[in-house]
Amino acid sequence: MERRIGVYICHCGTNISGTVDVEKVTEFARGLDSVVVARDYKYMCSDPGQNLIKEDIKEHGLNRVVVASCSPRMHEPTFRRACQDAGLNQYLFEMANIREHCSWVHEDRAMATEKARALVSAAVRRVYYHEPLETKEVPVNPSVLVVGGGIAGIQAALEVADSEHRVYLVEKEPSIGGHMAQFDKTFPTLDCAACILTPKMTSVGQHPYIQLMTYSEVEDVSGYVGNFKVKIRKKARYIDEGKCTGCGRCQELCPVSVPSEFDCGLGKRKAIYIPSPYAVPNKAVIDPEKCSHLKGLAGGKDVCRLCQTGIEKKGIPGCEADAIDFSQNDEMVEIEVGNIIVATGFQQFDPSVIYQYGYGRYDNVITGLQFERISNASGPTGGEILTADGRRPESIAILHCVGSRDVNYHRYCSRVCCMYSLKYSHLLREKIPEAPVYQMYIDMRCAGSGYEEFYERLQEEGVNFIRGRAGEITNIAETPEEEGKLIVICEDTLIRRKRRIPVDMVILSCALEPRADADQIARIFSLSRKADGFFLEKHPKLDPVATMTDGVFVVGCCQSPKDIPDTVAQASAAASRALAMISKGRVEVEAATAVVDEEHCAGCKICVDLCPYKAISFDEEKKVSRINEAVCKGCGVCVAACPSGAITGRHFTTEQIMAEIEGVLV
C-alpha cells in the first residue's frame, strides 16, 4: 500500500527555531520519499498544532505521521492521541527529537540544522515501515499478594482487605511484626511501638479477607499484571496451628535453649518457642536445627520429646492440645493474584566488619537494635539499661553513621539513624538521668514533622552532642579515669581537638541495608536494584511505589531506608494503586511486543532463558518458542539473540531500526 507521510516541524517558540533553521528542515522534509505534506508551526503540541495533523490526515489521506519537536518521552502520547482521534492507528506515528537532542545542546546553527535534518529523515524512513498495532486488555484478578509482614506489609494488607478483597500475606518468619515489633519507643512522638503495632498485627490475624501465611516463602512467580501465579513454600512448623493455643508450656518444658533472634542474641529462647510475647499467630514453632528430637530422628534415634510427653514423674503434662507434630513436612501452595506488593524490608548493617569499633570484641559495644531490646520492657533486661556484666552504665556514647555515608561500606545516608539515636538518648536520660550521654555525629539530619523539635528537646535534656565521627573505640586506658572503660576517640571538630571519651556502653547506630536475599527476591519478582542494592522504583519522583514490572509494587525499606510514617504512606499508596486496578477490572498490555515466526524458529530455546519476564515458553510438540504477549515487555533481548531471526520485535523491527540508522546518516 502506498505510503502517504505527513511531517510537522515544531518551532517550540524559539526553543528550536532559535538554533535550528526550521524552514530549511521543512523544505528538506518535503523532498523526502513518500512525504506528501510538510509543515512547520510555532507550537505543534497546542490544540491548533494538533488540529493541523488531524485535518491533514483527513484531507491528504495521510497514513503515516512524523512530528519533529521535543523528546518522545514528553509528547509522544499527545500526538499518538491526535492520530488516533483522526482515525489513524497510533503506532503509525513517529517522533524526531530536535529539541533535547539538538537545538538545546548545540550552538552552531548550521550544524544543528544539519543534525535536525538527519533526525527528521531518520524518522521518515522509520515510519515508512511502521505497522498498525492493537493494544490488548486483560481482566484483573482481584486478589493481592503482600510479601513481608513488617509494618509496611501489615499496612498494605489491611488497606486492601478492608475494601473486601482477598489478601495473601506471606511472612518468612514465624510471626509478623518485622523490625518494628522489636522497637521500644518510636520517634519523635515516643509512643510505644508495641502499643501502636500489636493492634494492627492482631487485626491482620483475625481479618476475614486476609490469609496469613507465616513461616512461608514465595518461591516462584509467573504470569503477568492482573494474572500472576505464585508458588509459596509453607515451611514445616512441626505444630498444628489449628490446635496450638499458644499457652507456652512446651517452651517451658524444652531443655534446649539458644540465643533469641528476636532479642538480637541478648536473650534466650528454646528449640520449641513462641517468637515473641505478642506473636501473630500466637503459635509455637520448632527450630529443626536445634530440636534434639528432630536431630535425633535424622540419626534414627527417638530422643527427648519432653514438649510432647511432659515429665511424668513430676506430674507435669506435655502439650495438652496435642498440637505437636514431628512428622510435618514443608508444603507447596499455589495461589493466583492480580497484584503483588513487595515489602521485604531491610537488615541491620553488621558493624563487626568495622574492626576499630570493636563490635564483637567488646561486650558493651552494641547495635541499635540490641539497645531497642535492652530498653524494651519485654526484653532480656525487662527494660532496665544494663551493661553486659549487669552494671548500670555511668556514661554512654552513641555513634552515628556506622556503615552509612562511608565509601568503604554504604555511600548512602540511612536517613533514620539521627532520629533513632536521639530517641535512644531520650530513653537513656529518662532511665538513668545521672549518666551523661554523648552523641558523636557528622550532621544532624532531622527533616520531618516534629523532628527538629525533638532534636531541640534532647538538647534541653542535656545530651552532649559532639560534632565528629568516632575514629575508634579502645579499652586501653591512658589515665586512671579511663581504667575499665571503653574510650571513644574522635575529633570534636567544633573545637578542633582530638577527644577521648570514657564510657561504659557504646551504641552503634548502624546503617539500614538491603537484605542478604534481596538478589533472590529481585529475581523472583523481576525487580531491578539500584546501585545501592535497594529495589528500583518506576520513577524516583512521579512513580515511587510502582516498578518496571506492571502489577508489582515495592514499599518500605526494601525500596530505600525510611522511617515509619513514610513506610506507612508508601504501603497505603501501593494498596490504592492495586485497588485502582482492581476496581477498573482490566489492564492494557504493551502492544510493542515480540512475536515468534514459527516457520523459522529452530527451537534452540536460547530466547526462553534470556527473557527476563519468563514470557517465552517452549512448545515441546511443535518444537518452537512461543511468546505470551501479555507478559512480554518488548525489551527486544530475544529479538537480538535469536540466531535464526525468527523473532520480530513489534514497533522496533530490525527493518525499522535499520531504516532509522540509514536515515541519521544522510
Partner 1 sequence: MEKMIRTDAFVNEIAALPGGEGVRLCIQCGTCTASCPNADRMEHTPSQLIAMARAGMRDEVLSSDAMWYCLSCYLCTVRCPRGIKQTDLMHALESLAVREGLSHGRTLTPAMYRSFNDFVYSLGSLPEFGFMTWFHLLTNPLRAFRLVPVMLKLLKRGRLSIRARRLTPQGTRQLRAVLDRAESLGGAR
Partner 2 sequence: MSFEPKIVGILCNWCSYAGADLAGISRKKFSPNVRVVRVMCSGRVDPTFVLKAFEAGADGVIVCGCHPGECHYAEGNYKAARRIPLLKKMLAQLGIEDERVRLEWVSASEGDRFAAVVDEMTAQIRRLGPFSRNNGGGNG
Partner 3 sequence: MKYYTYFPGCSSSEGGAKAYGWSARAISKVLDIELIELDDWNCCGSTPYSSIDELVSFCLSARNLALAEKRGLDLVTPCSSCYVSLNRTNSYLKEYPDIKARVDEALAAGDLEYHGTVRVRHLLDVLVNDIGYGEISSKVKRSLSGLKIAPYYGCQVVRPSPGFDHPEFPQSLDKLIACLGGEPVPFPLKSRCCGGSLIISEEALALDLIRKLLDCALSNGAECLVTVCPLCQTNLDVYQSRVNKRFKTSFNLPILFFTQLMGVAFGLGDEELGLKTCIVPAEEALAKYL
Residues found near partner 2 in the complex (CB under 8 A): 71-73, 97, 99-102, 104-108, 111-112, 114-115, 118-119, 122, 522, 526-531, 536, 548, 592, 610, 612-613, 633-637, 639-641, 649, 652, 654, 657-658, 660-662, 664-665
CB of 355 to partner 3, least distance (A): 4
Residue 249 vs 529, nearer CB to partner 2:
529
The binder of 493, among partner 1, partner 3, partner 2, none, by C-beta within 5 to 8 A per type, is partner 1
Residue 476 vs 665, nearer CB to partner 3:
476
Angle between helices 109-128 and 654-664 (to 10 degrees): 160
Residues 58, 277, 322, 355: which binds partner 3 (CB under 8 A)? 355
Give the list of residues 6+ apart from residue 548 with CB closer than 8 angstroms, or none: 526, 527, 528, 536, 538, 633
The binder of 497, among partner 3, partner 2, partner 1, none, by C-beta within 5 to 8 A per type, is partner 1
**Three-state helix/strand/coil letters over 476-536:** CCCCHHHCCCEEEEEEECCCCEEEEEEECEEEEEECEEECCCHHHHHHHCCCCECCCCCEC
Q: List the one residue out of 221, 217, 174 whose CA is nearest residue 331.
A: 217
Residues 71, 356, 520, 583: which binds partner 3 (CB under 8 A)? 356
Residue 84 vs 474, nearer CB to partner 3:
474
Q: Which amino acid is it at 305? A: R
Residue 43 vs 652, nearer CB to partner 2:
652
Determine, following the binding rule CB under 8 A, whether residue 352 of this chain makes contact with partner 3: no
Determine, following the binding rule CB under 8 A, whether residue 516 of this chain makes contact with partner 1: no
Handedness of CA 49, 52, 57, 63 (dihedral sign): negative
Residue 306 vs 473, nearer CB to partner 1:
473
- Cα separation of 452 and 445, whole Å? 8
Determine, following the binding rule CB under 8 A, whether residue 476 of this chain makes contact with partner 3: yes
The binder of 355, among partner 3, partner 2, partner 1, none, by C-beta within 5 to 8 A per type, is partner 3
CB of 356 to partner 3, least distance (A): 6
CB of 352 to partner 3, least distance (A): 11
Residue 187 vs 412, nearer CB to partner 1:
412
Residue 472 vs 481, nearer CB to partner 1:
472
Q: Which amino acid is it at 405? A: R
C-alpha pair distances (Å), 369 with each of 260, 418, 472, 508, 559: 13, 14, 21, 9, 20
Determine, following the binding rule CB under 8 A, whether residue 234 of this chain makes contact with partner 1: no
The binder of 443, among partner 2, partner 3, partner 1, none, by C-beta within 5 to 8 A per type, is partner 1
Determine, following the binding rule CB under 8 A, whether residue 469 of this chain makes contact with partner 1: yes
Determine, following the binding rule CB under 8 A, whether residue 482 of this chain makes contact with partner 1: no
425 in Cβ contact with 458 (< 8 Å): yes
The binder of 635, among partner 3, partner 1, partner 2, none, by C-beta within 5 to 8 A per type, is partner 2
- Contacting range for partner 1; rule: CB under 8 A; set: 103-111, 127-135, 146-154, 485-493: 485-493
Determine, following the binding rule CB under 8 A, whether residue 14 of this chain makes contact with partner 3: no
Determine, following the binding rule CB under 8 A, whether residue 405 of this chain makes contact with partner 1: yes
Measured at the alpha carbon of residue 65, what is the angle toward residues 59 and 68, in degrees to the nearest 5?
Answer: 125
68 in Cβ contact with 25 (< 8 Å): yes
C-alpha pair distances (Å), 407 with each of 182, 411, 610: 29, 5, 34
Q: What is the DSSP string of 96-124?
A: EE-IIIIITT---HHHHHHHHHHHHHHHH
**Three-state helix/strand/coil letters over 523-578:** HHCCCCECCCCCECCCECCCECCECCCCCEEECHHHCCCCCHHHHHHHHHHHHHHH
CB of 472 to partner 1, least distance (A): 7
- Cα separation of 532 and 410, whole Å? 7
Phi, psi for residue 224 in degrees, rounded to 5: -155, 175
Angle between helices 417-431 and 368-375 (to 10 degrees): 30
104: burial class by Cβ within 10 Å (0-12, 13-18, 19+)? middle
- Cα separation of 293 and 302, whole Å? 6
466 in Cβ contact with 351 (< 8 Å): no
- Contacting range for partner 1; rule: CB under 8 A; set: 95-103, 468-476, 532-540, 632-640: 468-476
Determine, following the binding rule CB under 8 A, whether residue 476 of this chain makes contact with partner 1: no
Determine, following the binding rule CB under 8 A, whether residue 478 of this chain makes contact with partner 1: no
Residues 131, 472, 609, 662: which binds partner 1 (CB under 8 A)? 472
Phi, psi for residue 375 in degrees, rounded to 5: -80, -10
CB of 615 to partner 2, least distance (A): 11
The binder of 586, among partner 2, partner 1, partner 3, none, by C-beta within 5 to 8 A per type, is none
530 in Cβ contact with 512 (< 8 Å): no
C-alpha pair distances (Å), 44 with each of 8, 12, 28, 82, 372: 8, 7, 18, 11, 60
495: burial class by Cβ within 10 Å (0-12, 13-18, 19+)? exposed
CB of 112 to partner 2, least distance (A): 6
CB of 194 to partner 3, least distance (A): 39
Tell me how many residues contact partner 3 (CB under 8 A).
Answer: 4
CB of 108 to partner 2, least distance (A): 7
Determine, following the binding rule CB under 8 A, whether residue 255 of this chain makes contact with partner 3: no
State the residues that interact with partner 1 by CB under 8 A: 356, 401, 405-408, 442-443, 468-472, 489-493, 496-498
State the residues that interact with partner 3 by CB under 8 A: 355-356, 474, 476
